[in-house]
Structure 1
């Protein structure tokens, strides 16, 4: 079919699909306008509102693909699913996440999956601007799905925000997106392989396929606030709102990082040993069994040590410090109520024995056969209702509460952690794996929290526990509830740049997803964190042991072949045994270098950035430099992003200017940082070095 005719054909279908979407949205609006009176109707309204919002957001790229089956069936694929006008007809438009749409991403000439042709439809707003037909009979060359559409998307100018990629996902990406979510999946992918795209589109797929996840929300962890801002519009554009985005530093509500820390200290505090150390420390704070003497309404009552021990043994196992305290307090109120009742019964029994003796003496002086009263029908026993009432009075008594607070005090996590981290003797006792020199470094730390402290604070907060009980509150969106609740359990967690998580940060993740339904994407060769893990097995051993699944992205779509040719030698200098991903596109622009005296670097950078901005108008230019040059360059370059290699991870620009490569190589992660810096561009790379 001629190109113009194919465009006209797809324009007619797009018009039809747009009209159908508008009619469905209008129908949903009418239903949402109706009054609701009960919880069932409210739940249905929430579902309808979600459907309406999804349709409303499906403006750009409503239709982007078509499958022509060998049997003549034609199916279109798009952002959302649209039902047919006829009640029993085939769907007008397949949702990209539906099983029936999968051949659009996975069919090949070798395995056509019943398809004769795949068509990629390019649109701008409501206008079809191009089509790319891909026969699946072996006549098409290449190993990319929809190569024309993919390369066209990659050549577009960067805006500083990531866009959706549902129309250009590749086979190896789709296989990971649709993989089972029953355990940890670790995805290794070099620069430009679409790791972030895979992670975010996997969220959308899982929420579509496993509806219960929307009730629990999905957590997306990124390496920095800048990165989260970069990806912020992707999931809403895909219609997903049951998602919380955060960094490890912002996972603990109400707590923030107040200072930087040395890499040495970050490495020490990131070790898995702290989990056991904090567990032992909190366990040492639990009260020991002893005889308890309690005062109630002017009388003293004794709870024997053996009884206290039994209560502790039933309250503590499997519970946090404060949860165990609540359980023990309830038992203590019950034990005291029983002690009060028993003492009252004993007192009444003594009174009754004395009264019976008086009556006996009186009877001996009375004529035979004379009747007298008896107290035998007064036993002094309290009814269950009376004991329950007594227990409630004891539970509300301020003096009993003060006694419990003194014997088993409520602990504040931040205060408790500071107590441990500032006490050399306690650290030696509870973290014996630390050397005296390492303990000295920890104790010498100033007060504000550092990044590695957040993971420790999260761990001790979890061990202490809280009194949260309810999962939902009114009509508040689930993502908002999850965001402000430390103890929220998510349905799934996606981690980007996961190679940089410390062992204690992995524990933060596990606490929020005990089911271990986790997808972690990253590149072990781009690790910038203080730890020295050189393989995924080392990085996740403490969290998962050997119980995780590995996947790999092998094709670089973003970074030009001309740039990736520089990556192999850099990786070798970094000590990596991995091969860089295979680049599939070329821009024809060779990377270039300039050298100037060190004092002239900032001025030269300004001139070169201006030239790049001129060449890539409508796109973006970014600068990567050593940490000690960043402030000076920012002062000269103004609004142009100037970042360290660590800060630049996960980001991309049309053109990158790498300033002082040797300075980056001299930083702690050395050539790994250079590897990151080299691979941020989609079109052109320039390097500016000091002569």
Structure 2
């Protein structure tokens, strides 16, 4: 059966008939999918088919509108866009899923960059009344007409968006629990960020109410979409709280982001330590522990644990009655040819080279070796010597011992830290490791050391990582997150003007330079705010020149007749950041 979309000048009744036709196609397909598993030969295959053909995943729920947008083009089309895609009986696409590259490309069209789009027609249906496919109204935006109006009247971008009655109606409803309305109100600039190439470090700067979290969730769903240019197999979203992550996971699932995982920073750096419920860090220690210099300090401290022995040591051989002496000079020469990092990999390389050295020395010793000799050193003998030179460590014991020793701290700090900073890191070591006190600021350091002490394959990595509220994360926390990325592909979302806490920063430069010094990276700024009334944001923006010089205040598009009232003195509320 061939389904023909209504003409360009279609009336509401014609569009309604089309929606009803699409709904019939969808429900017929739902019925077919629900019965597909019955053709399987055994229970296991039936269960697998039932899961793979779940209609709610492929078609969306029955109470979801079949479409929310129509896109008319100069050539071809029209396209209808919905939360889920739909094909007719002949496999022809009749509705594009919102997250497909084509849908996002056309949704990114504007009067400034039409991309071959003639018109956007947005539909509002009676979802609240339980009739999701009954069209209440539609709103047309003809891009060429809009461009002429802007040129003739001298309108700005904010005037254009503020005049979008359809958007204003959605904003007036407030933030919905499942963020579903954001899908159909994504503006052009947001659509382009959502569909931006995944293989880069993208920083999205946005003031209050600019839709940062919505962009983060929708970008995750778009990156994992099968039709994406380079579909991500797994995407990680890192958020500031468990409550927000629960919200993000639910929304991401509703949007089709089946391969999206959520985690807080603390959960990501999970460690078998108990964080003290009291403040155990002296003033300034939290900022120091979060700074990028700590990676070099920890590297030095790990390198310090690798020592050339002071005296000769004999290593026993398998199956023969003598051993081979290893002198300090031999060990020093072996160590000079081995990279110390990653620590565990260097240790294994040292063991292999040492054993080869011992076997070679045995062959050259002149001692009798029987023909069937296995040419191996005694395992326990060589492991004991390796541990003496290149000790096996645990992250917790290593960091406890480092904090507890002034000598070790001084050696690791070198010229990187001054005396006061070394004092800030000093902490009494508990006799029992289980009783050692740890702070939240210790987690990134424990994580960094743990990664040096375990095989790289033991760390779960993702094709893309999206960080919400990235402005508050320290350099060491960012390092921990970055280590979970397969290629360094990340999206960091936040507002530098709201950066607070020990890791507060005035610009994104540190993050860009630290995470992507030699790879593709970009910084984009959200220009429009959709949630905070203009009067409120204008009042708050008085602090912007001091909080984040160079960051532009977003233009607000939500209408409000209410003026803000100051109930407390700003000077008392806004304290300088450390």
For Structure 1 versus Structure 2, the TM-score category normalised by the shorter chain is: 0.7 to 0.9
Deviation per residue, 1:208-235 (Å, 9 max, x gap): 14486543x1121222333323433221
Please tell me whether Structure 1 or Structure 2 has the larger radius of gyration of its CA atoms. Answer: 1
CA contact (8 A) 1:568 1:580 kept: yes
CA contact (8 A) 1:293 1:302 kept: yes
Q: Secondary structure at the match of 1:236?
A: helix
Alpha carbons of structure 1 residues 402 and 559: separation in structure 2 relative to 1, 3 Å:
same
Partner of 2:100: 98
Distance in 2 of aligned mates of 1:241 and 1:63: 21
Establish whether residue 664 from structure 1 lines up as the match of residue 573 from structure 2: yes
Establish whether residue 84 from structure 1 lines up as the match of residue 66 from structure 2: no
TM-superposed CA distance for 1:530, in Å, is: 1.7
CA contact (8 A) 2:84 2:96 kept: yes
CA contact (8 A) 2:447 2:480 kept: yes
Establish whether residue 143 from structure 1 lines up as the match of residue 147 from structure 2: no
Using structure 1 for the length normalisation, give the TM-score: 0.69
CA contact (8 A) 1:104 1:118 kept: no
RMSD (CA atoms)? 3.7
TM-superposed CA distance for 1:566, in Å, is: 1.1
Distance in 2 of aligned mates of 1:150 and 1:191: 18
CA contact (8 A) 2:271 2:443 kept: no
2:276 pairs, out of 244, 258, 265, with 258
Partner of 2:495: 523
Instruction: Describe how 1:520-669 pairs up with structure 2 within 5 A.
Output: 520-545=492-517, 548-572=521-545, 574=547, 576-593=549-566, 663-666=572-575, 668-669=576-577
Using structure 2 for the length normalisation, give the TM-score: 0.81
Number of paired residues?
538
Alpha carbons of structure 1 residues 439 and 552: separation in structure 2 relative to 1, 3 Å:
same
CA contact (8 A) 2:266 2:443 kept: yes
Distance in 1 of aligned mates of 2:258 and 2:496: 30
1:276 pairs, out of 277, 292, 296, with 296
152-161 or 271-280: which moved more? 152-161
Establish whether residue 488 from structure 1 lines up as the match of residue 464 from structure 2: no
Unaligned runs of 5+ in 1: 349-379, 470-484, 595-658, 671-691
Partner of 1:323: 345
Alpha carbons of structure 1 residues 287 and 192: separation in structure 2 relative to 1, 3 Å:
same
Distance in 2 of aligned mates of 1:212 and 1:110: 28
Distance in 2 of aligned mates of 1:539 and 1:257: 26
Distance in 2 of aligned mates of 1:45 and 1:491: 27
Distance in 2 of aligned mates of 1:84 and 1:225: 41
Unaligned runs of 5+ in 2: 1-5, 151-158, 430-435
1:134 pairs, out of 122, 141, 145, with 141
Partner of 1:507: 479
Partner of 1:460: 449
Partner of 1:286: 306
CA contact (8 A) 1:162 1:231 kept: no
Partner of 1:375: none
Partner of 1:442: 425
TM-superposed CA distance for 1:573, in Å, is: 5.8
Establish whether residue 14 from structure 1 lines up as the match of residue 19 from structure 2: yes
Distance in 1 of aligned mates of 2:550 and 2:382: 65
CA contact (8 A) 1:28 1:48 kept: no
Deviation per residue, 1:289-337 (Å, 9 max, x gap): 78541235683311544765665556x4274222233344345555656
TM-superposed CA distance for 1:236, in Å, is: 0.8
Instruction: Describe how 1:142-541 pairs up with structure 2 within 5 A.
Output: 142-144=159-161, 147-158=164-175, 162-163=179-180, 165-208=182-225, 209-210=227-228, 214-215=232-233, 217-255=234-272, 257-259=275-277, 260=279, 261=281, 264-288=284-308, 292-295=313-316, 296=318, 299-302=321-324, 304-305=326-327, 308=331, 312=335, 316-317=338-339, 319-332=341-354, 346-347=367-368, 380-382=370-372, 387=374, 391=376, 398=380, 401-432=383-414, 433-444=416-427, 447-466=436-455, 469=457, 487-513=459-485, 515-541=487-513
Partner of 1:481: none
TM-superposed CA distance for 1:107, in Å, is: 2.6
Distance in 2 of aligned mates of 1:573 and 1:319: 41
Q: Secondary structure at the match of 1:347?
A: coil
Alpha carbons of structure 1 residues 399 and 199: separation in structure 2 relative to 1, 3 Å:
same
Partner of 2:59: 55
CA contact (8 A) 1:80 1:96 kept: yes
Deviation per residue, 1:155-204 (Å, 9 max, x gap): 11445664462211111111211222222111211111112222221111
